[in-house]
């Protein structure tokens, strides 16, 4: 067994891994090295209640947990290099560099938000939502503002639109695809999600891109679209996804995954990277599945499950049973949930649609691949056992 665990990153993956290790009575030193000044906190509220209800209690654990559990938290400290031969990481804290040795290293560095790539990206009033500080900056900027433009209708863009609408702003969402969430859920379900937003009064502009952000006195005032439209914008939220910033791994020899599979740190199905004693979990990790296919997944539950698996690997315990992938998103008063791992081009079978709430199955080659629902929590969760086995879609449709 290893003599020490160093975790790079201070988010969900890092916190859960440390917690799992200590929960299993792992006694060796554990150090979490985080670039952020805050102890590990939860990100899902940042686009929801942190904006709408000023919910600031987002810590994953009370601060005394780390002291009581003997977990060293090094905050405001960025890992800038990894030496897998010498087994140490180089840490930069307040301009000073030091080396921290490791027995086992776990990389849990999450994502950096993509910034708007064109003119106007640096104007004030242009926001992203990845960190607690981002969310607070956005919330504070809403005061006295009337119009907002959200660029991108992925999950975070959709949630930001719902939250800003709830705060009384007039919101326009601009999305180059034909529907919101088309890349994740496909156009049929994307159309249902579009319905939620237009009903709530959001001006949804799909099939069109943003050319530039225009400013007045250094602050954003308008957004120009590629069809020539100019939208008033007192505030802009850029929700165009994130990328794993892995510059700290340059020269480490740790293998990265091909971009076509989502990029990130290449891992086997148990989280081992190409370097001995080095694991990766969470949004930055690209694990192989049981069939050897690679996926980089940006879901809360996925990170939690990877932390359980890697803790078991480090401690040489039996592995937990496989579970069903799960994701949720809160938009307006509805919980949108996804079980399984459907592809956006899978066949969609809508089994319940009251004009707002809905439930639909996805299938491929006649087998159930996923279930998506909005406001149908109980019904959706009941389908979970069917995703643990190979279930013919006809069986489920016949039972309707």
Ligand X SMILES: Cc1cc2nc3c(=O)[nH]c(=O)nc-3n(C[C@H](O)[C@H](O)[C@H](O)COP(=O)(O)OP(=O)(O)OC[C@H]3O[C@@H](n4cnc5c(N)ncnc54)[C@H](O)[C@@H]3O)c2cc1C
Q: Which of 21, 33, 100, 148 binds ligand X (CB under 6 A)?
A: 33
DSSP β-ladder status, 367-374 and 334-340: antiparallel
Q: How far is the CB of 110 from ligand X (least distance, A)?
A: 2
Residue burial 328-358, b: 16+ Cβ < 10 Å; e: rest: bbbbbebbbbbbbbbebebebbebeeeeebb
- 26 touching ligand X, by CB under 6 A: no
Looking at the chain, the number of H-run helices and the number of E-run strands are 10, 26
Q: How far is the CB of 246 from ligand X (least distance, A)?
A: 9
Q: Which of 5, 6, 7, 12 binds ligand X (CB under 6 A)?
A: 12
Separation of alpha carbons 376 and 280, rounded Å: 34
Q: Which of 6, 30, 31, 47 binds ligand X (CB under 6 A)?
A: 47
Separation of alpha carbons 319 and 142, rounded Å: 47
Residue number with CB closer to ligand X (130 or 212): 130
Contacts with ligand X, 77-96, as mask; x by CB under 6 A = -xx-----------------
Contacts with ligand X, 295-334, as mask; x by CB under 6 A = ---xxxx-x-----------------------xxx-----
Q: How far is the CB of 374 from ligand X (least distance, A)?
A: 13
Residue number with CB closer to ligand X (149 or 225): 149
- 240 touching ligand X, by CB under 6 A: no
- 358 touching ligand X, by CB under 6 A: no
> Looking at 244-312, which runs of residues are DSSP E strands?
265-267, 278-280, 285-288, 294-296
- 340 touching ligand X, by CB under 6 A: no
Please list every residue from 146 through 175 that binds ligand X, using CB under 6 A: 156
- 370 touching ligand X, by CB under 6 A: no
- Cite the DSSP H helix spans in the chain: 12-23, 49-52, 63-68, 132-142, 155-166, 182-199, 300-315, 377-382, 384-388, 393-398
Please list every residue from 264 through 293 that binds ligand X, using CB under 6 A: 282-284
- 35 touching ligand X, by CB under 6 A: yes
Residue number with CB closer to ligand X (44 or 103): 44
- 19 touching ligand X, by CB under 6 A: no
Sheet containing 126-127: give its strands across. 126-127, 235-238, 147-151, 170-175, 203-206
Closest CA to 330 of 30, 25, 51: 51
- 225 touching ligand X, by CB under 6 A: no
DSSP β-ladder status, 147-151 and 235-238: parallel
Separation of alpha carbons 299 and 282, rounded Å: 8
Binding site for ligand X (CB under 6 A): 8-14, 33-36, 43-44, 46-47, 78-79, 108-111, 129-130, 156, 248, 282-284, 298-301, 303, 327-329
């Amino acid at each position: 067994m290893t003599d020490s665990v160093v975790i790079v990153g201070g988010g969900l993956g890092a916190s859960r891994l440390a917690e799992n290790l200590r929960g299993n009575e792992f006694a060796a030193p554990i150090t979490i090295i985080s670039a952020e000044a805050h102890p590990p906190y939860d990100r899902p509220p940042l686009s929801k209640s942190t904006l709408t209800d000023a919910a600031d209690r987002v810590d994953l654990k009370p601060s005394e947990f780390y002291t009581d559990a003997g977990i060293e938290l090094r905050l405001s400290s960025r890992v800038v290099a990894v030496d897998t031969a010498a087994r140490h990481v180089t840490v930069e804290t307040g301009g000073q560099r030091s080396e921290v040795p490791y027995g086992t290293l776990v990389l849990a560095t999450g994502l950096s938000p993509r910034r708007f790539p064109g003119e106007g990206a640096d104007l004030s009033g242009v926001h992203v939502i990845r960190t607690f500080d981002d969310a607070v900056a956005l919330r504070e900027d809403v005061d006295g503002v009337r119009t907002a433009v959200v660029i991108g209708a992925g999950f975070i863009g959709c949630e930001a639109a719902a939250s800003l609408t709830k705060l009384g702003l007039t919101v326009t969402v601009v999305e180059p695809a034909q529907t919101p969430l088309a890349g994740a859920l496909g156009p049929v379900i994307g159309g249902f999600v579009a319905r939620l937003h237009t009903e709530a009064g959001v001006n949804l502009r799909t099939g069109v891109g943003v050319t530039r952000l225009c400013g007045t006195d250094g602050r954003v005032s308008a957004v120009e679209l590629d069809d020539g439209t100019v939208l008033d914008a007192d505030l802009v939220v850029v929700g165009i996804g994130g990328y794993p910033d892995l510059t700290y791994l340059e020269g480490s020899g740790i293998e990265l995954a091909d971009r076509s599979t989502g990029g990130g740190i290449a891992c086997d199905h148990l989280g081992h990277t190409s370097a001995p004693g080095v694991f990766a979990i969470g949004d930055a990790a690209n694990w192989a599945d049981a069939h050897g296919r690679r996926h980089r997944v940006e879901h809360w539950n996925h990170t939690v499950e990877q932390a359980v698996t890697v803790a078991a690997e480090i401690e040489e315990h039996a592995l937990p049973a496989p579970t069903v992938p799960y994701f949720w998103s809160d938009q307006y008063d509805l919980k949108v949930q996804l079980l399984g791992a459907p592809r956006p081009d899978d066949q969609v079978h809508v089994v319940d649609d009251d004009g707002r709430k809905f439930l639909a199955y996805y299938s491929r080659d006649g087998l159930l691949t996923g279930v998506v629902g909005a406001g149908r929590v109980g019904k959706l969760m009941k389908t979970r056992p069917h995703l643990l086995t190979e279930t013919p879609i006809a069986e489920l449709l016949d039972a309707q």
